[in-house]
Chains A and B, each alone.
Chain A
Amino acid sequence: MIKNQARLLQGNEAVVEGAIAAGLKFFAGYPITPSTEIAEQCAAKLPAAGGTFIQMEDEIASMAAVCGASLAGAKSMTATSGPGFSLKQENLGFAVKGEIPCVVVNVQRVGPSTGMPTSPAQGDVMQARWGAHGDHEIVALCPSSVEEAFSLTVEAFNIAEEYRTPVILLMDEVIGHLREKVVLPSKEELVVKEREKPSVPQGEYKPFAMKQGNIPGVPPLAAYGEGYRFHVTGLTHGEDGFPTNNPAIAEKQLKRLNEKISSNKEALVKVEEFHLDDAEIVVFAYGATARSARKAVNDARAQGIKAGMLRPVTIWPFAEDALLKVKAKSPKAVIVAEMNLGQMVLPVKRVMGDSVPVVQVNKLAGQLIEPEEILSAVKEAI
C-alpha cells in the first residue's frame, strides 16, 4: 500500500485493499458479476500478504470454507452478488449461530434470479436482513463511495471480530465499479481490531458462555489447533457448545445471540446527517442513491428549500434512533429513495407512523435514481 497517497481505485478494489489492511488471511469465492474483481484482486494479492485465496466450486462451499477458516483463526471474507448471495444463506445462518466472525460482500445487481447482471440495484436489503432462516440479528454496512468501500470493509472486519458475527458489506454495482480518487489511511491511522481470545485454562473454556468477554454477550473465541478442543454446531447449544433441547437453556442462548447485537446498537449503528438541523424535507437514501440525494439536497438548498439527508451507513441494525430524532423535528415529509420497489421504506414508515408523511422514489430496472428525480419529489413535498 502506498502511504497516504491519492490513488484512483475501483470500489471492488478498495474492498480488497481494506480487507488486507484489516488483516484478511482467507478468501473463498465464486465468480459473479458485479463482484468478480474482488475475487480476482484477492487471488493476486493475498498470497503475498501471507493469506490464502481459493475459488470454490460454488457459493455454498465458499461460505462454508470461510466459516472453517475463521474457526481456524484466520480473518475471512467472501464476495458475491444476488444469485450467489441466495446460495450463501444457509451457511451465513450457520455463521450467525456458531458466532463465527467473517465478512460477506454482496455487490447488488438487479434481480430476482439472474436479473440484470451488470446493472445496479438495492433489492437485497431485506434479504440481507432476513435471508437466513430463524430469528437472528445481522449487521450490514452500506458504502456510498470508493473511500467508504475501503473504510467500511475495515469496519466490517472490526465488527465481525469484536462481536463474533458475520457482517455483510452491502454494496451496489455503481459503488463496486465506480472509480474515484481515494486517499488511503496509513497503517498507523488505521484502527484494526482482533477477536478476543479466551483467558481461562483450556479445560474451562466455554465457547458460548453467557457472561464473558469485553462486549456484553460476546464470548471469547479460541481457534482450532490451540488445545481448547471445543465444539461448534448449528444445533441450538448450551454454553459448552453441545446441543441441547432444554427450552430454558435454548431461550437464554438465543436471546444472548440476538441481544449481543440489538443491545449494542448505539455502538454499531452509524449514519451520516447532511443538513438535517433545519431540514423541512428529509431524504433517506443509502449507497449509490445517496450520491444523487446529496446533489438533490444541495440543489434544493440553492433554490431556498430547506432539505436534508439522513444516510444510514449501517443498514442493519436499522437506524431507528437517528430517524426518531428526525421525527421529533416534525419535518414536512421524509422521502425514501432506493433502487428497488420500496424496501427500506417499510421500517422508515414504521418509525414515522402517522405523524410524518413518507414519500417514495423508486427505480428497479437497473438505472440510477437521478438527482432531478429526487429534487422534484422534494419540491412536490414542500
Chain B
Amino acid sequence: MALPVEKYLRVAKMPHIWCPGCGHGIVLQSIVRAIHELELDTEKTVIVSGIGCSARAPGYLNFDTLHTTHGRAIAFATGIKLAKPELNVIVITGDGDAAAIGGNHLIHAARRNLDLTVICFNNNIYGMTSGQYSPLTPQGSYATTSPYGMLENPFDLCNLVMGAGGTFAARSTTHHARQLTNIIKEAISHKGFAFVDALSQCPTYFGRRNKLRTPREMMKWFEDRAVPARNWDKMSPEEREGKFPVGVLTKTQAPELTEVYGQLIEQLQQRGGE
C-alpha cells in the first residue's frame, strides 16, 4: 500500500536526529504503516514517549504527541487513556526507558490490562547517552559501563509482561520489518495491554563495541538469532542458546481497565439518579 507520508509524518521537522543506519527509523516506519493499514483515526490517536533516541520518534509523527520524562511514558499515557478512553494511546519507549527506570510502570500497566500499545525500540543499549549498558544488554556484551563485558543477566521483556498479566506480547526486529508491521497492527487492535519488543540496531554505540560494525551486520545478527514463535516451543534449551523467539508470544482476553471503570461510573451514576 502506498504510504501518504505527509499525512503521518511531520516532514517539516526532518531531518531527524538519528544516526545513519540506526534501526529506530525502521520501527517508526512499521508503526506508521500499521496505523495506515488499520485506518486509525489520526485525530484520536496520541503517541507518548519517554527519553532516549527512540523517544524522539513522536516529534516526527503528525498526531497529538507527548515527549515526557525518562521512564515515565507509560504513566503519562495511563492518565491520558483513563481520562479519555476513546483515544488510541501508543507508547514509544527504549530498552532503558521501559526496563530500567520505567520497569515498574511497565509491569503495573500490564497488570492493570489498560488498553495501551507499548512499543519498545530495543537496541540493547543506552543510545542517547552514548552507549552505557541497559537491562537488555546481553551478557558478555561491551558497553561504556561494561568495559569488561556485561556481567548481569538481561531481562526478557515479553516474559516480564506476560508474568505481570499483560494480555498481548510479541517480538520482532528491524530485519523482519514486514512482520514487525503486522505485529504492531495486531498489538494496536488488541483490546487490553499490548507490548511489542521491537529489536532495533544501534550501530553507533552497540555495534561498534561488539564487532558488528555496520547496520547490515547488526541486522544479520537479528536474522541469525530470531526463531519463529511456532518453532520455539519445540526447541531444547541447548538449541535455544543465543536465540530468541519472534512473533506473537501471548494473546489472551481479559477485562480491560477503562471498560471496567466505565461500567462502575455508569452504575454509580444510575444509583445516584434513582
**Complex contact A56–B261 (CB within 8 A):** no
Q: A47-B261, A48-B269, A224-B84 are in contact. Are A76 and B79 (CB under 8 A)?
A: yes
**Complex contact B77–A68 (CB within 8 A):** yes
CB-CB under 8 A from B272, the residues of chain A are 48
CB distance from B260 to the nearest CB of A (A): 11
B18 contacts the other chain (Cβ, under 8 Å)? no
B46 contacts the other chain (Cβ, under 8 Å)? yes
**Complex contact A72–B79 (CB within 8 A):** yes
CB distance from B146 to the nearest CB of A (A): 27
By beta carbon, the residue of chain A nearest B56 is A243
**Complex contact A70–B43 (CB within 8 A):** no
Q: A47-B265, A230-B64, A232-B66 are in contact. Are A69 and B75 (CB under 8 A)?
A: no
**Complex contact B87–A225 (CB within 8 A):** yes
CB distance from B257 to the nearest CB of A (A): 9
**Complex contact B75–A224 (CB within 8 A):** no
**Complex contact B69–A94 (CB within 8 A):** yes
CB distance from A335 to the nearest CB of B (A): 41
**Complex contact A225–B66 (CB within 8 A):** no
B172 contacts the other chain (Cβ, under 8 Å)? no
Give the interface size class of chain B. 35 or more
CB-CB under 8 A from B46, the residues of chain A are 72, 224-225
A60 contacts the other chain (Cβ, under 8 Å)? yes
CB distance from A61 to the nearest CB of B (A): 4
| Complex-state Cα separation, A230 to B46, whole angstroms | 10
| Complex-state Cα separation, A69 to B108, whole angstroms | 18
Give the interface size class of chain A. 35 or more
| Complex-state Cα separation, A10 to B42, whole angstroms | 46
CB-CB under 8 A from A21, the residues of chain B are none
**Mask: chain A, 237-248; 1 = CB below 8 Å from B; 0 = not:** 000001100000
By beta carbon, the residue of chain A nearest B86 is A225
Q: A26-B83, A47-B265, A72-B83 are in contact. Are A56 and B78 (CB under 8 A)?
A: yes
CB-CB under 8 A from A379, the residues of chain B are none
Q: A48-B269, A56-B75, A243-B59 are in contact. Are A64 and B86 (CB under 8 A)?
A: no
CB-CB under 8 A from B82, the residues of chain A are 26, 52, 54, 65, 69
**Extra 8 A-B pairs, beta carbons < 8 Å, given A225-B46, A233-B67:** A25-B83, A47-B261, A47-B265, A65-B82, A66-B79, A68-B81, A72-B80, A229-B42
Question: Closest 4 CB pairs between A and B?
Answer: A68-B79, A65-B79, A64-B75, A69-B79
Q: What are 25 sample pairs from A and B whose C-beta atoms fall under 8 A apart?
A: A26-B79, A26-B83, A47-B268, A52-B83, A52-B261, A52-B265, A57-B104, A60-B72, A61-B78, A64-B68, A64-B72, A64-B78, A64-B79, A65-B78, A65-B79, A68-B66, A68-B75, A69-B83, A71-B79, A224-B80, A224-B84, A225-B44, A229-B43, A229-B62, A232-B66
